[in-house]
């Protein structure tokens, strides 16, 4: 892997460009997930040849300090030795059995132990499957149809969740994507995040028709938006009072904000939790869990149907177990959060010295940097941050060998593989790029 000097340079990306041209003739948009296409930042996506620790190397041999980390899963960095060993050992024993296996039980036990709000957990293959399934179970449990979500929270691409507020504060959803029937979206009520009044009004009005309220306790899909003091407590109280199942979508915050997720950090006990990303150690794993009386409704124990060919896949489970066995060790989060804090402070300092207005928000080792001088507390304030500036900064940092997420609406992440010199190089590059943008 060519050592990067993290100085701005014109990247040679000939091979990536050729691959992207070919990929676009075979795969919609040339990517298997839209955000990877660089549409929000301009330019063509880089095709990655290999990765190790905190570094990515593209097919043209350029290497980058990586803060995307596969959108959150790689809390140990790329290809950690113990995870690769566990995956290799599991794969040599067969890649899938279509039958229960010991790995599922081990990972389930680790998760239930880490999340006291969960009596039981069911594995699926993505965060989307986890949230989609949790909502179905909540509807089965309450025999109600409507759901509440918050503007800007992303819970995967299940039809009913691709809904946004119509006009006004809290309204029945309208589809955000063609292909989603009005009838699906209209069962989804959308409320502005951090707006306690709008939430209270809609629950007082519709409470008895609402099956569940699902939210990202820290919103990682409009950047990184932190709940205002009392907001999560208010949500817990209102949902309790009206028999609404409270679902914490911790696909991103689970084992990231803290080992026990945002629910540990903010000391709130949801009725159900969705997980993903970190628990698969980079392999496709999602999970949903909750109280026994809710989880007992799931087939074959109960009547609510949910299934999956590769759910509980032994190789994916092995990657998750190896990951959790490392991050649950004492001191892991303290060290990771120290590194993350150093980056947060350094980026703030670089922006100040470059006389650039930014707002940086961090929870644990997930964070984001908005180009704005206004506080960001919800979707509109996140949207009002400078998109063009973000795109220019993204491209500049990439030219220095620093890989941030290619959208201002994404959080970025650190891993235990990020070194002191990675952080120092990133901060220096940030100052250089911001200064060059003045």
C-alpha to C-alpha distance for 280 and 370, rounded to whole angstroms: 29
Residue numbers 392-431 binding ligand KE4 by CB under 6 A: 410
Nearer to ligand KE4, 220 or 364 (CB): 220
- 214 C-beta neighbours (distance < 10 Å), count: 25
64 is catalytic: no
User: In the range 78-137, which residues lie near ligand KE4 by CB under 6 A?
Assistant: 126-128, 131
Task: Give the bridge partners for 247, in sequence order.
Answer: 214, 272
Q: Which stretch binds ligand KE4 (CB under 6 A): 203-211, 214-222, 325-333, 427-435?
A: 214-222
C-beta closer to ligand KE4: residue 54 or 126: 126
Asked if residue 251 binds ligand KE4 (CB under 6 A), the reply is yes
Please give the Cα distance from 137 to 245 (Å, whole number): 10
Position among 45, 53, 192, 276 found at the interface with ligand KE4 (CB under 6 A): 276
Q: Per CB under 6 A, does 162 bind ligand KE4?
A: no
Q: How far is the CB of 8 from ligand KE4 (least distance, A)?
A: 27
Neighbours of 11 (CB within 10 A): 18
Q: How far is the CB of 277 from ligand KE4 (least distance, A)?
A: 7
Rounded CA-CA distance 289/138 in Å is: 11
CA dihedral for 332, 335, 337, 343, sign (positive or negative): negative
Residue 273 binds ligand KE4, judged by CB under 6 A: no
Our finding on whether 56 is near ligand KE4 (CB under 6 A) is no
Q: Does residue 155 interact with ligand KE4 by CB under 6 A? A: yes
Q: For residue 15, indicate whether it is catalytic.
A: no
**Is residue 200 within a helix (H) or strand (E), and if so which, with residue range?**
helix 196-206
Among 87-95, 213-221, 298-306, 316-324, the segment contacting ligand KE4 (CB under 6 A):
213-221
Distance between CA 6 and CA 151 in Å, rounded?
A: 37
Q: Which is nearer to ligand KE4, 155 or 389 (CB)?
A: 155
> 159 — phi, psi (to 5°)?
-50, -55
Q: Which of 154, 288, 393, 431 is an active site residue?
A: 154
**Is 310 among the residues that bind ligand KE4 (CB under 6 A)?**
no
Angular region, 401: left φ>0, alpha ψ -120 to 50, beta rest:
left
Q: Active site includes 345? A: no
Closest distance of CB 257 from ligand KE4, Å: 11
Nearer CB in complex with ligand KE4: 33/167: 33
Interface mask (CB under 6 A) for ligand KE4, residues 283-302, using x and -?
A: ---x----------------
Q: Least distance (Å) from ligand KE4 to the CB of residue 249?
A: 5
Query: Least separation, in Å, of the C-beta of 218 and ligand KE4?
Result: 9
- Indicate the pairing of strand 174-175 with strand 210-215: unpaired
Given the residues 58, 249, 271, 432, select the one marked as catalytic.
Answer: 249
Q: Between residues 107 and 433, which has the closer beta carbon with respect to ligand KE4?
A: 107
b/e 48-76 (16+ beta carbons within 10 angstroms → b): ebebebbbbbbbbebbbbbbbbebbbbbb
Instruction: Decide if 96 contacts 249 (C-beta within 8 A).
Output: no
Q: 53, 77, 152, 156: which one contacts ligand KE4 (CB under 6 A)?
A: 156
Q: Outline where 249-356 has alpha helix (H).
A: 261-265, 292-295, 314-327, 332-353
Verify binding: residue 223, ligand KE4, rule CB under 6 A. no
Asked whether 346 and 423 are in contact (CB, 8 A), the reply is yes
From the list 3, 10, 33, 229, which residue makes contact with ligand KE4 (rule: CB under 6 A)?
A: 33
Sheet bearing 48-52, strands edge to edge: 48-52, 55-58, 63-66, 402-403
Which position among 58, 151, 216, 422 is part of the footprint of ligand KE4 (CB under 6 A)?
216
Q: Helices 102-114 & 314-327, crossing angle to 10 degrees?
A: 40
Coil, strand or helix at 365: coil
Tell me if 270 contacts ligand KE4 by CB under 6 A. no
Is 66 one of the binding residues for ligand KE4 (CB under 6 A)? no
* Catalytic entry in 55, 149, 277, 389: 277
Name the token pair of 356: 């650039």
Residue 165 vs residues 48, 292, 376, 409: alpha-carbon distances, Å:
37, 33, 19, 18
Interface contacts to ligand KE4, rule CB under 6 A: 33, 35, 71, 126-128, 131, 154-156, 216, 220-221, 249, 251-252, 276, 286, 410
Catalytic residues: 154, 249, 277
């Amino acid at each position: 892997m060519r050592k990067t000097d993290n100085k701005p340079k014109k990247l040679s990306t000939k091979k990536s460009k050729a691959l992207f041209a070919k990929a676009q003739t075979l795969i919609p948009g040339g990517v298997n997930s839209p955000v990877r296409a660089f549409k929000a930042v301009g330019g063509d996506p880089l095709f990655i040849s290999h990765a190790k620790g905190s570094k990515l190397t593209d097919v043209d041999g350029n290497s980058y300090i990586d803060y995307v980390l596969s959108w959150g899963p790689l809390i140990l960095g790329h290809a950690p030795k113990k995870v690769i060993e566990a995956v290799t050992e599991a794969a040599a024993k067969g890649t899938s059995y279509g039958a229960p296996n010991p790995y599922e039980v081990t990972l389930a036990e680790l998760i239930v132990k880490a999340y006291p709000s969960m009596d039981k957990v069911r594995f699926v293959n993505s965060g989307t499957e986890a949230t989609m399934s949790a909502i179905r179970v909540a509807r089965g449990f309450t025999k109600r149809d409507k759901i509440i979500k918050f503007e800007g929270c992303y819970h995967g691409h299940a039809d009913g969740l691709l809904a946004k507020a119509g006009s006004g504060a809290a309204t029945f959803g309208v589809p955000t994507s063609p292909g989603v029937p009005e009838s699906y979206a209209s069962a989804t009520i959308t409320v502005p995040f951090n707006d306690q009044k709008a939430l209270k009004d809609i629950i007082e009005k519709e409470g008895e028709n609402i099956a569940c309220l699902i939210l990202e306790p820290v919103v990682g899909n409009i950047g990184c938006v932190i709940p205002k003091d009392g907001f999560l407590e208010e949500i817990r109280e209102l949902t309790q009072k009206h028999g609404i199942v409270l679902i914490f979508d911790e696909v991103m915050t689970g084992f990231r904000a803290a080992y026990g997720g945002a629910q540990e950090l903010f000391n709130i006990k949801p009725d159900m939790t969705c997980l993903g990303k970190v628990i698969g150690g980079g392999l496709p794993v999602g999970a949903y869990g909750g109280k026994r009386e809710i989880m007992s409704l799931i087939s074959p124990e109960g009547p609510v149907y949910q299934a999956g060919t590769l759910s509980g896949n032994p190789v994916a489970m092995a990657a998750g177990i190896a990951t959790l066995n490392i991050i649950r060790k004492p001191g892991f989060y303290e060290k990771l959060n120290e590194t993350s804090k150093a980056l947060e402070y350094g980026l703030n300092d670089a922006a100040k010295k470059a006389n650039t207005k930014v707002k940086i928000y961090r929870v644990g080792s997930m964070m984001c940097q908005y180009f704005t001088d206004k506080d960001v507390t919800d979707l509109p304030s996140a949207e009002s941050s400078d998109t063009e500036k973000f795109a220019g900064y993204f491209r500049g940092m990439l030219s220095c060998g620093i890989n941030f997420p290619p959208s201002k609406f994404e959080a970025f992440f650190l891993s235990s593989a990020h070194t002191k010199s990675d952080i120092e190089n990133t901060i220096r590059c940030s100052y250089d790029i911001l200064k060059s943008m003045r």
